[in-house]
Amino acid sequence: MSADYTLLLQTIRQWVSVSEREEPILSDLFERRYVPANDFFLREGEVCRYVGFVVEGLLRYYVLDDGIEHTYDFSPERNFTCNYESFLTQTPSTRFIQAIEDTTLLIISYDNLQQLYARLGEGQKFGRLVAEELFVGMLQKLTSFYRETAEERYDTFMRSFPQLQERVPQYVIASYVGIKPQSLSRIRAQRAGKQY
């Protein structure tokens, strides 16, 4: 089993147990995909046909509203990525998922994911736990997105993604906070003394 699949297996095993005998199911059902920096894993208007597992790299999620990008989430390595709403309903996405860095993924199609749920002893449990975590995470993201001030959003970014501060371009951080890039330095200066 290659290092990519070992990483995927380790991650799934944080949720449920996978026996040694079940390990080959993963390489049966996932395939490798490479997305160069600035290219898209998913565009607005496309149906999200795959769930991706980020082996290496970094993706961001954003919506385009009157020509303005609003970044609302990131998926670094060892995380799953997809527009879960578009994926579950197999309807066109209203969001973009874009690579910020050259990104290598293991991807699984909708049909193969149903197979994964059925073939792994704890596959359905894995699906339940992921769906539950995504439900809670999405509510927290939406509450932050709609209700927080720019200063609070900046704090949310620093607290949620402490390891990404050096990897995310300034204009993307600004689009997460909901301000113009030139306003970011003001908030940065103001927050400089704060511990995260």
DSSP string, 109-171: EHHHHHHHHHHSTTHHHHHHHHHHHHHHHHHHHHHHHHH--HHHHHHHHHHH-GGGTTTS-HH
| Residue 128 CB, nearest approach to a second copy (Å) | 4
* Interface segment toward a second copy; rule CB under 8 A; list 17-25, 53-61, 135-143, 185-193: 135-143
| Residue 96 CB, nearest approach to a second copy (Å) | 16
| Residue 117 CB, nearest approach to a second copy (Å) | 7
Query: Which among 153, 136, 135 is positioned nearest to 71, based on CA atoms?
Result: 153
Positions of E strands within the chain: 31-35, 40-42, 50-56, 58-65, 68-76, 80-81, 96-99, 103-109
Query: Which among 143, 154, 142 is positioned nearest to 178, based on CA atoms?
Result: 154
**Contact positions with a second copy (CB under 8 A) in 77-96:** 84-85, 88-89
Task: Please pick, from the candidates 33, 70, 78, 128, the single residue that binds a second copy as defined by CB under 8 A.
Answer: 128
47 binds a second copy (CB under 8 A): no
In the bound state with a second copy, the residue whose beta carbon lies nearer, of 31 and 132, is 132
Contact between residue 31 and residue 8 where contact means Cβ atoms under 8 Å apart: no
Helix (H, G, I), strand (E, B) or coil at 73: strand
Task: Please pick, from the candidates 34, 40, 135, 196, the single residue that binds a second copy as defined by CB under 8 A.
Answer: 135
Task: Please pick, from the candidates 4, 73, 101, 122, the single residue that binds a second copy as defined by CB under 8 A.
Answer: 122
68 binds a second copy (CB under 8 A): no
**Chain positions contacting a second copy, by CB under 8 A:** 84-85, 88-89, 117, 122, 124-125, 127-128, 131-132, 134-136, 138-139, 142, 146
